[in-house]
Amino acid sequence: MSRKVAAGVVLLGGLLAVVSSLLDMRVAVHDDRDFDRRYVTTLFGTKSEASGLPYVEGLYNQGFAVLLTVAVMVVAAVLAGRGVRAARVATLAAASVFAGVVVAFVVSALHEEELIKAYAALSSFRYEVTYLPGTYLLVLAAVVGLVGAVLVHRAPARHPAAQPEEAVVVHQFTDDDTPPFGIAMPNVERRGG
């Protein structure tokens, strides 16, 4: 696989991450006898449609971390596609950090869901969570980014064009005492003195 195709896979992972950051990640419904609230979580915070509840930036404010790591990953992939050797490692590192941010987001969401469901079991309210396509697309972007970074890392590096060597001609089996590429030296007999 060529390094340009591998870099294109990383760019696809970055594109999927950007699209997923624009989408909602999950919807949680808290249902009690006095109120019914619906919370929508994005990468940038949590919002509710209930009156008096503002947009809350909290635990899920990981959108900037996602976008920053994706930007570094995309720049490194472009440089790797052009054959810059150090960009191969940078692509792998950036994709790994991006995958770590995504794992942190998913694990924190699952942990919060588990805590609230445990509390809901002890109290009188109902709690339901629905994960939306943004979450699945974000996880897919992390997987595609990692696969692309590994492919970039494994792609053959661009080597400078080899310069043709000049041919060296060695004259063998000749009768004269001419050195290679030299001037013929006549045999002059020395007269002793």
Identity of the amino acid at 41: T
C-alpha distances in Å from residue 121, one per residue of 14, 31, 67, 126: 40, 13, 37, 8
Residue 153 has pLDDT above 90, yes or no: no
Residue 163 has pLDDT above 70, yes or no: no
pLDDT for the residue 136: 94
The torsion angles phi and psi of 109, rounded to 5 degrees, stand at -65, -45
The residues near 117 (Cβ < 8 Å, ≥ 6 apart) are 127
Residue 51 has pLDDT above 80, yes or no: no
Helix 3-21 / helix 133-154 crossing angle, nearest 10 deg: 160
Please state whether 32 falls in left (phi above 0), alpha (psi between -120 and 50) or beta: beta
Residue 169 has pLDDT above 90, yes or no: no
pLDDT for the residue 164: 67
Q: Where are the alpha helices (DSSP H) in 123-168?
A: 133-154
Distance CA 109, CA 138 (A): 13
